[in-house]
Amino acid sequence: MIGSMRMYIVDAFTDTPFAGNPAGVVLLDAPADEDWMQSVAAELKHSETAFVEANAPEPHPLRWFTPSTEVDLCGHATLATAHVLGGSRTFETRSGPLTCTATGGGWVEMDFPADPGEPVDADPTLVDALGGVTIEHVERGVSDLLVVASDAAQVRAVRPKATLAELPARGVIVTAPSDVEGSEGSEGSDFVSRCFFPGAGVDEDPVTGSAHCTLAPYWAQRLGKQELVGRQVSERGGTVRMTLSGDRVGLTGQAVTIARGELCV
């Protein structure tokens, strides 16, 4: 038994409960066994669960697990962790130090490494797995494949085949110019996206902060602007604000705590 410790469920990249991307956040009193953390993540079944040594001095050690594997970078679970701990925080991760800064109004900006893609040919497996998507362009980042579709309607309609998991990448980001216009009480966007990670045990991730490390450089170049707003048009949906600065991307979002309790094993 590890002993009881605090655990939270947080919806990230949204200010509305039951939207955005839910993440588990476990506050560790000391370093934990890797197999135990993987078991907890499998039990919680969120796309990622964050484990943070909250009592350690900054930068706080932070790790992320899907239900089936550890990942090198996760935006929404980092945002959820910063939201739970409050204020501005720095974390030590497998992707290096990550700084989260509270900017007011419940918004938190995360300083992440940019992951610009390089153009590649569309793999036949990719084309088949995405079905009727008209693919205009494909890039490969360190982590993911970026697929540019002809319009937002195709992004919303895509239903990938199981063969998507056979591709040699963490996952596939499908994106297109936005059809989301701003109105009173809502924010418009520059582009829309959806993200699929079947190889990591996540068929579709509701809102993916780390994917915007690749989305931001692509759309910044295409649109000629360094500040962007992305709308992930999954069933739950969520909004990510981005600021591209050299080889770093500022990812800004909000979060809502849904539940808090005690992990007893």
Which residues neighbour 113 within 8 Å (Cβ) at sequence distance 6 or greater? 73, 95, 96, 213, 247, 248, 249
C-alpha 254/C-alpha 258 separation (Å) is 13
- List C-alpha distances in Å: 209 to 47, 134, 155, 188: 12, 25, 18, 18
Report helix, strand or coil for 208: coil
**Per-residue DSSP letter, 242:** E
C-alpha 149/C-alpha 244 separation (Å) is 22
Report helix, strand or coil for 79: helix
C-alpha 265/C-alpha 257 separation (Å) is 22
Give the H/E segment covering residue 231: strand 227-232
Residue 48 is among the residues annotated as catalytic for this protein:
yes
Please report, as a single letter, which amino acid is at residue 221.
Answer: Q
Peptide bond between residue 22 and the one before it cis (omega within 30 degrees of 0): no
Pair of tokens at residue 153: 């309607």
Do the Cβ atoms of 253 and 79 come closer than 8 Å? yes
C-alpha 15/C-alpha 19 separation (Å) is 8
Do the Cβ atoms of 99 and 136 come closer than 8 Å? no
C-alpha 241/C-alpha 235 separation (Å) is 19
**Catalytic member of 34, 48, 139, 227:** 48
The catalytic residue positions are 48
